[in-house]
């Protein structure tokens, strides 16, 4: 059995028969167009409120960098505020095991700082996950080496 649906209501347009009048003057636009234009203008005017995903701007260690060990300090700076309590930094070791670093609670609102110890010479991967101010989780990773 196929359900019968009524007419689909979409974009509202002026109808001379139902409106009982003249169409809008050529310089005027109908209400739906004005509403659409206003919504588009607000999205373009306030992009940080609409697209506030945290984007990584700077990283220490940088991708493919070589740093001195055995202590490691990670600093990640983002384009927006992040929730440091719900964010984490993990180092993938050469044997593919992981080590979660301790976040610094005094990090600036747009940064994540973490420290770890015991890094011997070798190749590693820095993995991060942050909760941005818009409620979205952003993740990333890159390789680095310890000398």
The domain locations on the chain are 16-45, 56-146
The tokens of 12 are what?
């509202």
d(CA 107, CA 114): 9
What confidence tier does 30 reach under pLDDT thresholds 50, 70, 90? low
The tokens of 80 are what?
């927006």
Q: Are strands 122-132 and 56-60 parallel, antiparallel or unpaired?
A: unpaired
Which CATH code, of 2.60.40.1220, 3.30.465.10, 1.10.530.10, 2.60.40.60, is assigned to 56-146? 2.60.40.1220
Q: In the predicted model, what is the mean pLDDT of residues 49-70?
A: 87
The model carries a pTM of 0.65
**Residue 91: how many CB atoms within 10 A of its CB?**
20
Residue 126's nearest CA partner among 147, 104, 143 is: 143
Average pLDDT taken over every residue of the chain: 80
For 82-107, the pLDDT digits (tens) are 999 999 999 999 999 999 999 999 99
Residue 31 phi, psi dihedral angles, 5° rounding: -60, -35
Q: Are strands 66-67 and 137-146 parallel, antiparallel or unpaired?
A: parallel
Q: Distance between alpha carbon 121 and the CA centroid of its chain, in Å? A: 33
- Calculate the alpha carbon distances from 14 to 20, 23, 24, 34 in Å: 10, 7, 8, 14
Residue 95's nearest CA partner among 72, 65, 118, 125 is: 125
Q: Distance between alpha carbon 137 and the CA centroid of its chain, in Å? A: 7
């Amino acid at each position: 059995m196929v359900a019968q649906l009524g007419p689909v209501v979409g974009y509202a347009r002026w109808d001379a028969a139902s409106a009982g009048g003249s169409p809008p003057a050529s310089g005027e636009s109908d209400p739906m167009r004005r509403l659409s234009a206003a919504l588009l203008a607000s999205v373009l005017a306030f992009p940080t409120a609409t697209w506030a995903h945290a984007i990584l701007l700077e990283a220490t260690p940088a991708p493919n960098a070589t740093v001195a060990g055995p202590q490691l300090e990670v600093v990640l700076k983002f384009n927006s505020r992040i929730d440091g309590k719900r964010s984490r930094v993990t180092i993938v070791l050469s044997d593919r095991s992981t080590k979660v670093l301790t976040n610094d609670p005094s990090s600036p609102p747009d940064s994540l700082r973490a420290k770890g110890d015991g890094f011997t010479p070798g190749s590693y991967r820095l993995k991060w996950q942050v909760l941005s101010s818009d409620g979205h989780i952003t993740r990333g990773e890159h390789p680095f080496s310890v000398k």
